[in-house]
Amino acid sequence: MKKLLFSLLATLLTLSLYAQNDVTTFLGIPVDGFKSEMRQKLIAKGFTPKKVGTNEYLEGEFNGTDVHIYIATNNNKVYRIMVCDANTQDEANIKIRFNKLVNQFENNKRYTALDQYTISDTEDISYEMLVHKKNFDALFYQNPDMEKVDTLALQNKIREQLLEKYKPEQLENPTEEMNQEVQAIAMRIGMDMIFKKPVWFRICESYGEYYITMYYDNEYNHANGEDL
């Protein structure tokens, strides 16, 4: 079993994909906890609370752009920070802004992308959004913080899955097949963990003008039908 665990840890430390206590962050703040706590942390970062009717948000500058920030919760736990451009732009400029953001994320080592999202110069955004209902999105994932990796939880999770196929005494004398199984399980766990930290953005339209909305999501707190 020790050989199996060594193989497991080597694989996961190489992949950097498992961090049980690791969640999406926004400006270094975990997207977690209660709304009031998140609100105070954002105010400490320099954002100003605003209220228009029943609409509450925070106002400030993010990544060189004036924005409005909204805090979304599920069961009183924060699961999303939504960052909306405060000002709209025409089609040509929003395409430039979108592609610039894509480039910034692609060149940030804190993020991983599974696809290419740059909009071509020939793309007719207004036509595609109006006629074909196309969304112009870009999806990235924050890489795990290795300081938060819970190796004990890792071992237990792998052991549970191995015991579904092998007997305890078999694990004491692992075969090459078992080591390959560890690799496969590690990969499945790793992909599941990284998918819990998505950061994505979308072009939105308002009266013929456009703006970007960004979403920092903590999928651990997202509704999964548990209240149904």
H/E/C letters for each residue in the chain?
A: CHHHHHHHHHHHHHHCCCCCCCCCEECCEECCCCHHHHHHHHHHCCCEEEEECCEEEEEEEECCEEEEEEEEEECCEEEEEEEEECCCECHHHHHHHHHHHHHHHHCCCCEEECCCCCCCCCCCHHHHHHHCCCCCEEEEEECCCHHHCCHHHHHHHHHHHHCCCCCHHHHCCCCHHHHHHHHHHHHHHHHHHHCCCEEEEEEEEECCEEEEEEEEECCCCCCCCCCC
- Report pLDDT digits (tens) over 42-62: 999 999 999 999 899 999 999
* pLDDT, position 36: 96
State yes or no: pLDDT of 9 exceeds 60. no
Domain boundaries, the chain: 22-142+194-217
Select the more confidently predicted residue: 206 or 160.
Answer: 206
- Report pLDDT digits (tens) over 156-185: 777 777 788 888 887 777 777 877 777 777
Q: Give this prediction's pTM.
A: 0.78
